[in-house]
Amino acid sequence: MAAVGSSPPADGQHDLAVFPEGLKGRRVLLCTESFGPVNGVSRTTLMLVNHLRANGCHVAVVAPHNPTKLNTFVPTLAPAVRSSSTASTGSITTTTTTKKNIEVRLHGYPVPFNPELSIVYLVRLSALYSRTFGGPPDLIYLASPASLGFQVMFQLRQRPEREQIPVLCNFQTDLAGYCKTLFPFPLGGIADYAFASVQSFLFRHESVKTIFYPSTYVRRYLERHHVPGDKMEILTRGVDTELFKPDRRNQSLRDHIAPDGEIILICVARLAAEKSFDFLAMVAKELNLRGLKFKLYIVGGNRQAEVETEIKGLFADLEGQGKVIFAGFRVGEELAEAYASADLFLHCSISETFGLVVLESFASGVPVVARDMGGPSNTVQDGYSGFLTPPDDLSAFVDRVILLANDENMRARFGRDALRQAREATWDKINNKVAWKMLDEIEQREAVLAEMQLQGDTKEPHGGISAVPVFGWLMLSGAFRETLVNSRLVGALGVILGFWGVVGVYLGFTKANRWVRGMFSRSSA
């Protein structure tokens, strides 16, 4: 057990090749905003959940309902017992495979331009405790905290010290940046400021022990918003080298995509505005003007048909010429075959905190050309496993694509170097790093609670007759304090709901506008 008041050990004091024995049997409440089968954040979180459970840690996962209808939590061989109930916080559905591996699904409002994600309705932290372990967990892990994670952190900071469960956050999604891209002026700037302010406010609280970040780009972002440096710790990503590997190369697929032997360029991304498909469309048009014989194979989709249609419209001319092919969603071996059957990966998004697709391409032996902004700036080694170009320099990006497309030897060398780089990124070591940090913080809290007990601290966790400081100078009885905490919670969440209401009006207007434009286009056709 850690000494009272001391900091948890640094990574150098742990063997990351070994899972910590002390974490076995511990209870972890893992809250995530995204757990579908087709994005990098959800795949990363799933890897962690599986790793912790396989090594004996009890993990209860809380997430919005999954519109894809695919149950990514429950092992296919394990029967699930499902029950549901409706409380004042909304409907909560609980699935149990064992007494310790629990799934809680929360209802929410699907994001119009990305219905795989939802804005979770109000939920009480006490309800999550009772629905998972029947009481507080040993630790809370928040994957890309947003509508759910914000609620958890805000409610946790209202609790007395002995009830403040240690929190680890994994900052994997730049929500503020997405909002700025999604909404027009001035809503984009307002949303960016609002999200960034709420994040930094919640991250600074002492209950948040560690904020994992995937790249120096993200660290600089967090520093700009005054997140304490001693809370931040880098956590890169791993890749499944058994699934993604050069051996998946499929000549039949290559012949189907490029029957005349054209160079195959691939892009794997959800069809959405923040993925910079406008830039990719300009790249494809310029490559065509310069005479490169290529096929651009785009893997991904969007369950919002209007958004998918709009993205595809950017490539309408080239798609009509057969130079651009939209493959739709691909997962598992089909996705791995798509990567390995390509010659070059084009990564145009500048909003990625890491960009797991880059590592998956590397593991497939396919080099990458990327814009030098966001996570890929750390992942792509310029001139070694691919090329990085200035984010706004279209000509430089096109030049690098043509250089690699026309030089088979360079492309092969870059592919070998990319594969070597991917094989160094193992999920076991990365997830063990998280596991050790979890154990450190759990033991640190246990030491603090033990010291409080020795010092005769008799404060009642739920009020009683003791006085509890609220604002440092104000002493209130437990009952009055509980009333104040509830009113502050309702008020703060009311502000959040008000903001989402404004956003909802805008999204409704946008959707109606799209419908009207579609009606006019059909009538004029």
Round to whole Å and give the CA distance between 368 and 418.
9
b/e burial code for range 130-157 (CB count within 10 A of at least 16 → b): ebbbeebbbbbbbbbbbbbbbbbbbbbb
What is the tens place of the pLDDT at every residue in 336-388? 999 999 999 999 999 887 888 999 999 999 999 999 998 899 899 999 999 99
Quote the pLDDT of residue 215: 84
Contact 174, 471 (CB under 8 A): no
Domain boundaries 246-423, corresponding CATH code: 3.40.50.2000
Contacts of 239 (CB under 8 A, 6+ apart): 356, 359, 360, 362, 363, 422, 425, 427
Cα(147)–Cα(170) distance, integer angstroms? 15
Provide the pLDDT for residue 41. 74
pTM of the model: 0.71
Query: Residue for token digits 């071996």?
Result: 333
User: Which pLDDT score, from 0 to 100, does residue 253 have?
Assistant: 98
pLDDT of 466: 40
Strand pairing category for 368-371 and 90-96: unpaired
What is the C-alpha separation between 164 and 203, in angstroms, rounded?
Answer: 14
Structure tokens belonging to residue 413: 């060398």
Neighbours of 415 (CB within 10 A): 23
Whole-number pLDDT of residue 404: 98
Nearest to 271, CA basis, from 6, 10, 433, 38: 38
Angle between helix 40-54 and 356-363 (nearest 10): 70
127-160 residue pLDDT tens: 999 999 999 999 999 998 888 999 999 999 888 8
Residues 6+ apart with CB under 8 A from 417: 367, 381, 384, 385
Q: Is the dihedral of CA 401, 402, 405, 410 positive or negative?
A: negative
Q: Give the residue carrying structure tokens 């560690």.
A: 210
Residues of the chain with pLDDT under 50: 1-6, 38, 70-90, 458-475
Q: Torsions phi, psi of 18, nearest 5? A: -120, 135
Whether 246-423 and 19-173+204-238+428-454 are alike in CATH topology: the answer is yes
Q: Report which DSSP code applies to 36.
A: -
**Helix 356-363 × helix 408-423 angle, to 10°:** 110
**19-173+204-238+428-454, CATH topology level:** Rossmann fold (3.40.50)
Distance CA 104, CA 123 (A): 12
Q: What is the pLDDT of residue 303?
A: 80
Structure tokens at 113: 């331009």
Which pLDDT belongs to residue 294? 98
| C-alpha torsion sign, points 503, 507, 508, 513 | positive
* pLDDT given at position 505: 67
pLDDT for the residue 113 = 61
Helices (H), 142-209: 147-157, 175-182, 187-203
Any idea where the domains of the chain sit in the sequence?
19-173+204-238+428-454, 246-423, 463-525
